[in-house]
Structure 1
Amino acid sequence: MRVLSLATLYPNAAAPNFGVFVARQMEAVVRTGAVDLTLVNPVGLPPFPLDRHSRYRSLRGLPERETWHGVDVLRPRFRLLPAIGGRFNPGAIVRAVWPIVRRLHAAQPFDLVDAQFFYPDGPAAVRLAAALGVPCSIKARGADIHHWGHAAGTAEQVRRAGQAAAGLLAVSQGLADDMVTLGLPRERITVHRTGLDRTVFRPLDQAACRTALGLPQAGPVLATVGALIPRKGQRHAIEALAALPEATLVLAGAGPDEAALRGLARDRGVGERVRFLGPVPHTDLPQVLSAADVFVLPTASEGLANAWVEALACGTPVVTTPIPGAQELLTSPDYGRFAGRDGQDIAMAVSDLLAHRPTREAVCAGAAGFSWEANAASLIDHWRRLIV
């Protein structure tokens, strides 16, 4: 089976944590030997002189083709208009990718075009598949539906792509329901949950992890993992510290909210109890998660967050918002609690977990059944159904 996969979310040397969950999935697909995979990771760069900005300098230096953890990755450049040009990205991607795809298809035809993110990958993949005369599959992960599926200029592109695709994937049933609300065909949607590397994400010695991170041994430690952006809601976790006087909060991730979050911590008088770790390599996250007593993610929206599953696999219970994907995963009190995006509400949920601590073994049970091998097998089965 020969598959062309578009993935604007994919790690590279400039951003090794960006879309790492897509990379792990595709690495598992390649290891099966069942798929001849061509992975295209279009890289958006603005026109000169904006492309000289420090934000894009490292992207300009990326090779246009490389092997990334066993996967052959093509990285053609497309023209990006920062902040204002999101609606034009699918067309720009098609123009950049089509000459490569046409040449590869002529040499050895593709059986299917796959998109690993609904926007901008999905509309671009549909157009490429139509030109090649093969079926198209699009995967929804969360923000691609919740943001781009409602934003002016992109919502209609999301809807049309979903209606044109032969098959659709959603990381949770709740996200599948949201897709149907947008007008996408329910009968074409398959729930395809995330994977997990159990050799990496497992419980580690808590005291040793705290020592390595320079964290206090006494008192509860809370951790949150993710980009420092408003949607992830780290500010609410910081606000919760006012009602948790013995607790320390660790934030793993980088993003535009960092300065505001540091200022908030100072203003609330908890600055010395908030640790900013910056971007942590994905394989080092078990140390952060194992150091914590509770994983906190006051997110506004998710499909099914990989970080929830990874925390459970490390034996760390979760406090997060009662959104559909979380409700599908956290089905036992041993796995965590739900709280609103409110500091006091989060503090109450954390306090309840600390007062009724589940065993690490009980928490780990929440991640049972998740593996990249199972994820890859399910994805390949889905592709096969579309080709037949």
Structure 2
Amino acid sequence: MFSYRLAAKGKRPFLHIALFMDQHPHSLGGVQTSVMLQKKYLNRNGVKVTIFAPKSKRMVQDPDIKVIPSSYPTIGREYSVVWSLRKASKFCQSQYEAQHFDLVHLQGDFAAASLAIELAKSRNLPLVYTSHTNVDVMANKLIGKPLKIVLLRFFTWQHAHFLKIANYPKVFTAFEYMTFVHRNMDKVLAPSSHYAQLLKDKGVAKEVDVVINGVDDELLTNLKRNTPVPQKPVHFVWAGRMQPEKRLLQTLEAFARAKGKATLDVYGFGPLERAAKNLARARRLSKRVKFHGKLPHREILQVFADADVVMQTSIGFETQGLTVYEAAATGTPTILCDSKISAEMPKGSNWLDDSGTIKGLAKTIKKANKEISEGSTRRETLADNKWLYQSEISKKTIALYKQMIEQKATPASPRT
């Protein structure tokens, strides 16, 4: 049975959530950024969030972040690993004894999953899981399929051994691993409808609710688009990590083939940065294409607001495609190459190239350039953007938390 405790200020009811992650929220990564934004707006609504995560060289002292016993790998100190789940579990249990939680929210897939499940089961707490990452695609890209299988089987064994599960599968894919580990969740969440459907298709869960990653209200409130200059060339923006699955090189080649007077500003960094700059020079794009590196979040949102169109050109990689949502929140339409992401957005708010080819993308760039030059900006399709604000999303999350707690408090409540 749960009870809503009273906040110190205003004596209004609030919940206390234990949130588990595989990496420290101050380290680099999209999940980390999302969790800190969730925490910010849940706190503003009276919900206390205590985060459990391994250490990072970037971590700053925060009483709401509990650093799980962990070790740095031999190279780098950005991320760390939890070697002893038993030791980590004792730490988490001691934290529960000190402050108690109403619900456990897992936003990770490996050590975090084992620890979150163990705490929730031992204390009879509702357990919610948000799947942020398509582990299969990510692992295939980063380490290759053979090593991926080896690591997934180790994590499967580790999870089963820690939780004393006698029988466990011989997994070949991340989805098989996820199906085994996340089979007893009370609620499974995903950041988009298309990724939710994929999780269901792969057997990870029968039901998956969609809760998107939103955009910080504060960054949007004071955002104002600079007045467009008449007759100025159409301005395109591409922003992201410069890695193969993001298709920056294909985008640059398509932009060259589209010709015209349009300009393109590229933001970000990554392993393909040199290749991208070399391609731009080779295709004589230096006057129309500029590279700017990485910008702070507030500044990149201003860049999106001032652009005529933002391009996200990956295919089948994104679980949400946050760049598209951020652009939409600033009122700027997009060029997309993934039909599933396109379908998530307001009708008419993007130009879609679903050919998967450079030729097709060049045609789409040319079409967008022509329409915008003629006055059809498509910005009107994004006039209603409140659904993208994190404050609105947090209200839905709190309602979901309360529902799960109430269901758990009912003895006959079925698990999903």
Q: TM-score range by the shorter chain?
A: 0.7 to 0.9
Q: Residue 182 of structure 2 aligns to a residue in which SS?
A: helix
Residues in 1 aligned to 2:86 and 2:264: alpha-carbon distance in whole angstroms: 45
Cα offsets for 1:256-315 (capped at 9, x unmatched): 222232233233332453322222111111221123221111113212222111112222
1:320 maps to: 336
- Cα distance change of structure 1 residues 332 and 61 upon mapping to structure 2, 3 Å threshold: closer
Paired amino acid for 1:39: I
Call closer, same or farther: CA 1:334–1:114 in 2, change over 3 Å: closer
- What SS does structure 2 have at the residue aligned with 1:79? coil
Question: Would you say 1:29 and 2:42 are equivalent positions?
Answer: yes
Residues 299-310 of structure 1: pairs in structure 2 closer than 5 A: 299-300=314-315, 301-310=317-326
Q: Aligned letter for 1:223?
A: V
Equivalents in 2 of 1:131, 1:266: separation in Å? 60
For 1:214-253, what aligned pairs fall within 5 Å after superposition? Answer: 218-245=232-259, 246-253=261-268
Alignment of 1:40-79 (within 5 A): 40-43=52-55, 59-60=56-57, 62-63=59-60, 65-66=61-62, 72-76=64-68, 78-79=70-71
- Report the CA distance between 1:145 and its aligned residue: 6.1
2: CA distance, partners of 1:276 / 1:17: 22
1:1-388 residue pairs with structure 2 within 5 A? 1-8=15-22, 11-12=25-26, 15=28, 19-33=32-46, 35-43=47-55, 59-60=56-57, 62-63=59-60, 65-66=61-62, 72-76=64-68, 78-79=70-71, 81=73, 92=83, 94=85, 97-118=88-109, 121-144=112-135, 146-147=137-138, 151-152=148-149, 153-154=151-152, 155=174, 156-187=176-207, 189-201=208-220, 202-205=223-226, 218-245=232-259, 246-300=261-315, 301-329=317-345, 331-357=346-372, 358-359=376-377, 361-365=379-383, 367-388=385-406
- Partners in 2 of 1:269 and 1:181 — Cα distance? 45
Asked if 2 retains the 8 angstrom alpha-carbon contact of 1:311 and 1:317, the reply is yes
User: How far is the alpha carbon of 1:9 from its aligned partner?
Assistant: 5.8
Q: Aligned partners of 1:168 and 1:18: how far apart in 2?
A: 16
Secondary structure at the residue paired with 1:4? strand
Partner SS for 1:126: helix
The structural deviation recorded for 1:219 is 2.1
Please tell me whether the aligned partners of residues 16 and 281 of structure 1 are also in contact (alpha carbons under 8 angstroms).
no
Q: Determine the C-alpha separation between the residues in 2 that align with 1:158 and 1:107.
A: 31
CA distance in 1, matches of 2:74, 2:279: 28
- Partners of 1:367 and 1:36 in 2: how far apart? 27
The farther-off stretch of 360-369 and 245-254 is 360-369
| Structure 2 unpaired stretches of 5+ | 1-14, 153-173, 407-416
Q: Report the alpha carbon displacement of residue 27 of structure 1 after superposing the two structures with TM.
A: 0.6
Change (3 A) 1:186 1:204: same
What TM-score do you get using the length of structure 1 for normalisation? Answer: 0.79
Shift of 1:38: 0.3
Aligned in 2, Cα 1:311/1:228: closer, same or farther, shift over 3 Å? same
How far is the alpha carbon of 1:30 from its aligned partner?
A: 0.8
* Cα pair distance change 1:196/1:60, threshold 3 Å: closer
Deviation digits for residues 98-140 of structure 1 (CA, Å, limit 9, x no counterpart): 3431221111222222122445643442244334442321112
1:118, 1:145 within 8 Å by CA — same for their partners in 2? no
Cα pair 2:308 2:377 within 8 Å, conserved = no
Structure number with greater Rg is 2
Counterpart residue identity of residue 134, structure 1: L
Confirm or deny: 8 A CA contact 2:269 2:294 kept in the other structure.
yes
Shift in Å, 1:372: 1.0
Q: Does the 8 Å CA contact 2:41/2:390 hold for their aligned counterparts?
A: yes
Give, in whole Å, the separation in 2 of the partners of 1:93 and 1:352.
56
Unpaired stretches in structure 1, ≥5 consecutive residues: 44-58, 209-216
Native 8 Å contact 1:304 1:326 kept in 2: no
Find the aligned partners of 1:18 and 1:260 in 2 and give their Cα distance. Answer: 28
TM-score of the pair, normalised by structure 2: 0.74
**Aligned amino acid, residue 219 of structure 1:** P
* Maintained 8 Å contact 1:123/1:157: no
Give the aligned residue type for 2:45: T
Q: 1:162 to 1:76 in 2, by over 3 A?
A: closer
Could you give the per-residue CA deviations for residues 206-233 of structure 1, whole angstroms, max 9, x where no partner exists? Answer: 559xxxxxxxx94222112222222222
